[in-house]
Structure formats: structure tokens, C-alpha cells
Chain A
Amino acid sequence: MAKKRGKQLGYAFQALATVIVALATLEATSLLQYYFSRKSIYEEATRRAEGQLQTTNLEITDVLDQVETTVRNNVWPVRKTLVHPDSLWSLARRIVDCNSFVSGTAIALVEDYFPQKGRLFSPYAYRNGDRVDTLQLGRESYAYPEKEWFSKPLETGEGYWSEPYFDTGGGEMLMTTYSLPVTDMQGRVAAILTADISLDWFTDLVGSIPEYPHAFSALISRTGQLMVCPAPALVMKKTVQEVAADLADSTAVRDIALAMLAGERGSRQVLYNGEKEYVFYAPIDRANWSMAIVIPHKEIYGDVQRVALIVILLQVLGILVMSYILYKAVKNQMRFREVSEKKSRIDSELRVARDIQMSMIPTSFLPAPGQTDVDISGIVVPAKEVGGDLYDFYDRDGKLFFCIGDVSGKGVPAALVMSVTRSLFRSVSAHEKNPQRIVSVMNESLADLNENNMFVTCFLGVLDLASGHLRYCNAGHNAPVRIGPGKAAFLDVVPNLPLGVMPGMQYQEQETNLSSGEGLFLYTDGLTEAENADYQLFGEARLLENAVRFGGEKAGAFVKSMAGAVKSHIHGIDPSDDLTMLAVRFTNPSPSTGDVRRLTLRNDIDEIPKLHALIQSIADETDMDHALAMSLNLALEEAVSNVMLYAYPAGSPGQVDIEAAVLDDRIDFRVSDSGVPFDPTVASDPDLAADLKDRPIGGLGIFLVKRIMDDVSYTWEDGKNILTMTKKR
């Protein structure tokens, strides 16, 4: 059990290790893929952001260019008009009118240029809805010479883009102004011509990147003022430096701010409000502005992360499925192991059973060394590990007891019945020489409690090794073949019923005489029913044919030859039934039929003296001692008088035949009559220890016969009671 548990754990670990290795490989692949995906995605984002920055730069520059061009193109008209100060109004109006992106334009004259117009004179035209209105900027409340847009170009003499500003008292909007000095015909700077452009223009230009809907852009002025950003409240209210200062971790943002203010281009990752963001920035050279695009980290990597998540989920699912399949496979494997272990255990038990069964069947054949009267050999070939066929033989008291049997069914049940049958044969025949009696007792035992309806066909013979006299009894078995050199024929058998079918069955015994060299070939139906690939049976004809061919061989060679014939007939087809063969050959070179004397008496007790005379003559001829002679006399008288007194109805004539065969080692007596069937041997013996009053007067005769004779048996044959008695010499 512990070993099995260990084995199971082994499988489990193996399976677990497989899952872990698979998981690790899969995850490593995914991580690698994820890494490269991220890298390429970042590169893609960078390319997009830089492209956007470049495009926006070009677009802004284009707008600025147009504004600058507008202003430059009007320097000459302004200069020309300076001689008519009042005409400047209409000029300013026309500039606004003709340039849709110009929201206002001022012609701010230097202080006291037109003394008649006061110290400050600046006609200003601006868009007010669909109209263009004008006003005079040069008021006490609006001292434009202090304004950057005026002072810077005046100072440098060149065009100048102002810091974005909210123009109070002017355009009343967020704007940036391009201003350019205008000289008069005398070459003096007379005025600063300006064009305002609303920051709204840039808000539209600094658009979004369609691929990143949550990305935003920012445009800052050269001082860091937020010109465009997603929080309108901050526009022109805070510088990017101030925004950075407000952050918890401001370093990165401040670095970016400095880089942007320095007109650099680049990208950087920052933590903004707990979110990772990528900032790409580049300068707008024309105005010394800088633009930034901020793309949230998850916007860039959102897809790849989502894909990675899906991949991981799929992998986990896959691993789960794989684990399940593996689990099932391991379980199946373990069950398979268990089943095959069980099977091999059963197989080995069957092998042991087969060995036991085979050991019940004698394999050391006769003749024994020095023996000349018999030659016997047999073989059992079970179709399965164990089978229901058997044969057995042994010699006792100059007689060969042999049998062959075939239990109905196959396999273990048949084998069990087979071993019982074999034991019965041995135990019953140990003290019984009469085949009919042996078979009857075996039948009673097998029929008793035969709940499984198993039966046994059996042929049983008792061969007198001195004379070749064979007595046999068949119980539903195939008729044996009587064999001799060059001849073979089925033995004449009364079929009878198989053993175990019916209790109380009367079995009929038969007899014959074998001459030296003759024998019997016994077999089970595994021989005659051996089938080849064409469903042709070996059959009785083939059996006889081969029996004739091998008729002269010794028993062992005969069985081998017959087995060979069957083998070549079935030609490799697995036999479906057990095959058992037994060859018995009588080989006594000089069989003694003995000195047989016969006497026939009428059923009259006065004939008894003739019997005495017969016994006396035998006694005299054989130098029998007086006591033995008297005993034989007594036994014969009892047997014969029993017939005379009881076999025939009173008064009706009848006769008793007596045969006495004097053999070297014994004398066989045979008393037969045609009277009422009566088996005297079944009477129970008297109780010799009983009290006088309990002793019956009669019943001593047959008892004396049994006491005196070595063997007594009775058969009913051909309408005759036959009592056979043997006395050893």
C-alpha cells in the first residue's frame, strides 16, 4: 500500500512538474513578447507625438507667417498714409477686414508724432462680432508706450511677437501681437504697426492626436505662460514653472519646463497626480514658444496591457484545462496500473492454479521400470490457464485403474469440479475394483449439492494386467478408440448419463478382453471438435484414420503423433476447448487367462455338495491349505445358496452358474443367475458386539463372503446378477 501511495505521489509530482514547466515557458515567452511589444509601442507613440509636434509647429508657424506678412505688407501703406493721419483709421479697419485671422490691428504712433492729435495717437481697429470697430488706443488709461508690443520693436527696430496677454481696453481677449516699426519718408520711426491674433487660433491648431483620446497638448510662451492647455482656468494665469511648483514631485515637470523654455526638444516620463504620463516637447522657433504633448502611460500601453491581460487569462485558462486533462490522464494511468496489477496478480494465481491442477494429473507414465504388462501416456492441453479436463491412472493389485473426464464449461469453475472429480476417482477406487460401482459413487457425490449444474463426462476402466480383461463404465463420454497395430475402431460403449446429472442413476458396466498389443485411446471432445480456419472439425473419421496410422506406436509416441495431427489440422488457430488424450496399451506378452472351471447348478440346495467337490478339486490341485479351502468352500456356499434360496420365486426352476479362474496370484469366482435383480453386497454388516437378544438369526452368509474374499463386487448385466469374488493366493 505504501509503495502504491508512493507511486501515486510520483505521478502527481511528475504531472505538477509538467504543469509548472509549461507555465514557466509560456510566461517567459509572454514576458518577452510583452517587453518587445512595449518597446515598439513606445517607439510608435514617440513617432506619433513627434509627428504631431512637427505638424503643429508648421501650422503655428504658418499662421504666424501670415500675420507677419500682413503686417509687413502694410508698412508701406501706413508710411504713405502718415501724411494724412485721419486716413490711418480706414487703413487699420481695412487690414482687419481683409485678414480673417487678424483680430485687431493698431497703428501706434510714437509719442507726439502728430502734435495736433495729442501725445498718444493710435488708431485701433478690431473685430466685434461681424463688424469691425475702431477706437483710439492712446488714452490716459492706456499708456501704450509702456506696453511690450510697442516698446520692444521700437527698441530693436525689428518685428516682435509679444508675450500672450489679455488685452484690456483693446481687444478684450487673450491674444498675442506681432508688432513692426514703421518709418516715415524721412527715415524716422513713426509708428508701430501691430496685428493681434487670438490665442483661440492656436487652441484649435494644437489639436488632439486621434490615436490617444486622453492625450493633451500644451503651448507655452517664452516666459512659460500657458497659452493653450486643457485647464482653461490656468491659461495666462500661471506659468508652467508655477504649475510644476504646485506638484508634490515637481522635479521632473520643472526639468521639462526648463528644457522647454530653453527651446529644447525631447521626451520624458513624469508622475502627474499619481498617473504616469509621457511628455513630448519641441520648440515653436518663430515665436520662441514651446509645445508639449502629454500622453497618459495607460493610453500608450493600454492596449498592450489589455492584450497581455487577455493573454495571461487565456494562458491560465489553458493551464487549467491542461492540468485537468493531465489530472485525468494521471488518474487513468493509475487506474490502468491498478487494473494491470490486479490482472497480473490474477494471472499469477491462475498460473499457480494451473501448476496445482497439472500436478494432479500423473505425468510419470507406465510402464514403471521392470514392468512389462502396460504402456500408458497422456497429455492435457488446457485452452485457458486452467481447464476442466482430466485423466488419471494408477495400478493396484495387478489392475490398472484409469479414467478420462471432461467437466462442462471451462476455466476456474470447471477446474474446481475437475479437481473434485479426480479426488473422487482416487478415493473411491482405492477400495473398489468395480468400475460401475466407482462411477455410481462418484455420480452420487457429484450430483449431491450440485447447485451449479456442473456435470462431468467420464470414461472409467479397470484393466486386469494379468489377463487383459477390461471392465469399463462410460458416463456420457466420447467412445474411446480401441487401437492395435494397424487397426482402430470405436469401443462399444453404453452412453449413460454424465456424472452429476442425476442422483441414483444406474450405470451399466461393460467388459472386453484386450490381447497383448491392443489398447484404448481416450480423448475429450477438444480433439474431435478441434476446428481449423475453415471451420472444419478434426472429426471422428480423421481420428480413426490417424489412430490406424499410429496404431503400432508406443503410447507416448501415439499421443504425440495424434497431438501433431491436431496441430497441423488447426494450423495456428487458437484451440477453443481443452484437449486431453490418454493412450493405454496392454502389453503383457503372455496373458494368463487362468484355469477356468465352470459349474452350473439348479436352484436346489441339494446341489451344494457339487460346489464342495469343485472347491475341493481346486484345493487339491493347488495344494491349498485346509483352512483356506474351507473358507472358500464356505464363501461359495453362502453366495450360491443365497441365489438358490432367494433369486427365483419359490418352486420355479432356475440355475446358478459358477466360474472359478485359478490364476497365479489369486482365484476369481463368478456367480451368476437370471433371477430377480439383487445386489447382496449392499446389505449392512451385522453388529458383532450386539447383545444376544439383539442379534438377528440371519444375515451372516454374505457377511462371511465379504470377510473371506479379498474383493466382492456385484453387477447386473444382460439380465443377470453377477457376483464376482476374488481371493488372493
Chain B
Amino acid sequence: MEVHITESEGTMTARLVGRLDTPAATEVIREIQPMLDNAGKNLLLDCSEMTYISSSGLRIFLTLRKAAAAAGGHVVVEGLSNEIRQVFMMTGFLQLFEIK
């Protein structure tokens, strides 16, 4: 999995490319650290190229969401595939995140 973090106009964007499975999640939690450090900002998670997510990936999403809530930031998720949206629905994540 590749993680591309960019920042423009006060919004920090992470572009997630590939499978966010269990082995990938250990990498991703490290790479996403800049966003956790800037949890008070507007954060955008671009999932349009993410093909798979496991519960470890969901943990990262939830960790980020909690950090943002604590720091007064805002998390937006966009580009979810139907299959991943299904996983979000099963786990109640659709209610926890602002989905675009």
C-alpha cells in the first residue's frame, strides 16, 4: 500500500493506494503519523484508489477520527468503493465519518 500525504489550503490529504490489509496496516499507521500530529486541521482521506480494507485498517481510520475529535479537527473520507462502503456499513463507520 502506498500513502501519499499532501497539504493545501489548510487541508491535509492522504491518498491511500492499494490494499489496506493487516500487514499493510503496520506500515500505514507509521506513514499517517503527520496527520495525527495535525489532527486539529481539516483532514481528507482519499480512498478512491483503495481496493481493500481489513479491521486493522479500520482501526487506523478510527484512531484518526478520535484524534481529530480531541484536537477539534475535521475528517472527511471520500472515494469509497461499493465493497468498502459495505464494510463501513457493517461496522457502523458510516455514522462516524463524513463521507463524500
Contacts and interface: CB of A to CB of B under 8 A. Distances in A.
Given A637-B22, A637-B54, A641-B22, A626 B83 contact: yes
B92 interface: yes
Interface string B41-57: 00000000000111110
Interface stretch (A189-197, A213-221, A348-356, A684-692): A684-692
A589 B59 CA distance: 49
A608 B23 contact: yes
B59 A703 contact: no
A637 B21 contact: yes
Which residue of B21, B26, B55, B58 has the most chain A CB atoms within 10 A of its CB atom?
B55
Interface string A631-646: 1011001100100000
Nearest to B56: A641
A281 B96 CA distance: 146
Given A631-B86, A634-B87, 12 more contacts: A606-B23, A627-B86, A637-B54, A638-B55, A692-B66, A693-B66, A693-B69, A695-B92, A697-B59, A698-B55, A701-B54, A707-B90
A608 B1 CA distance: 14
A609 to B, nearest CB: 7
A688 B21 contact: no
Nearest to A701: B55
- Chain A interface size, as a band, is 20 to 34
A567 interface: no
Nearest to B62: A697
Which residue of B26, B52, B83 has the most chain A CB atoms within 10 A of its CB atom?
B83
Nearest to B26: A605
Interface string B66-100: 10010000000000001100110011100110000
A310 interface: no
Contact of B91 (A637, A692, A703): A703
A605 B23 contact: yes
B63 interface: yes
A689 B82 contact: no
Contacts of A707: 90
Contacts of A692: 65-66, 69, 96
B54 A638 contact: yes
Q: Which 6 A-B pairs have the closest CB atoms?
A: A688-B92, A701-B55, A700-B55, A641-B22, A630-B83, A605-B23
Nearest to B91: A700
B22 A689 contact: no
A634 B86 CA distance: 12
Contacts of B26: 605
Nearest to A604: B23
A612 B19 CA distance: 11
Interface string A260-275: 0000000000000000
B63 A612 contact: no
B91 A704 contact: yes
Interface of A: 605-606, 608-609, 612, 626-627, 630-631, 633-634, 637-638, 641, 686, 688-689, 692-693, 695, 697-698, 700-701, 703-704, 707-708
Interface residues of B, number: 26
Contacts of B66: 692-693, 697
Contacts of B95: 688-689
Contacts of A689: 92, 95
A608 B21 contact: yes
7 contacts: A633-B52, A634-B87, A637-B54, A688-B92, A698-B59, A700-B91, A704-B91
B82 A627 contact: yes
Given A605-B23, A627-B82, A689-B92, A641 B59 contact: no
Contacts of B90: 704, 707-708
A712 to B, nearest CB: 15
B92 A704 contact: no
Interface of B: 19, 21-23, 26, 52-56, 58-59, 62-63, 65-66, 69, 82-83, 86-87, 90-92, 95-96
Contact of A697 (B22, B63, B83): B63
Nearest to A612: B21
Contacts of B52: 630, 633-634
Contacts of A630: 52, 83
Contacts of A641: 22, 54, 56
Contacts of B55: 638, 698, 700-701, 704
Contacts of A708: 90
A605 B91 contact: no
Contacts of B62: 695, 697
B22 A608 contact: yes
A703 B87 CA distance: 11
A456 B94 CA distance: 49
A609 B22 CA distance: 9
Nearest to B53: A634
Contacts of B56: 641
A638 B56 CA distance: 9
Contact of A704 (B69, B83, B87, B96): B87
Contacts of A631: 83, 86
A251 B76 CA distance: 151
Nearest to A687: B92
A641 B65 CA distance: 24
Nearest to A708: B90
Contacts of B54: 634, 637-638, 641, 701
Nearest to B69: A692
A605 B65 contact: no
A698 B60 CA distance: 10
A605 B59 contact: no
A185 B35 CA distance: 205
A695 B70 CA distance: 14
A695 B69 CA distance: 13
Contacts of B23: 605-606, 608-609
B92 A686 contact: yes
A638 B62 CA distance: 17
B1 to A, nearest CB: 12
Nearest to A606: B23
B94 to A, nearest CB: 10
Contacts of A627: 82-83, 86
Nearest to A703: B91
A312 to B, nearest CB: 106
Contacts of A605: 22-23, 26
Contacts of B19: 612
Contacts of A695: 62, 92, 96
B58 to A, nearest CB: 6
Contacts of B87: 634, 704
A445 B98 CA distance: 46
Nearest to B66: A692
B50 to A, nearest CB: 12
A307 B91 CA distance: 114
Contacts of A633: 52
A566 B58 CA distance: 64
A606 B22 CA distance: 8
A698 B56 CA distance: 8
Contacts of B65: 692
B45 to A, nearest CB: 16
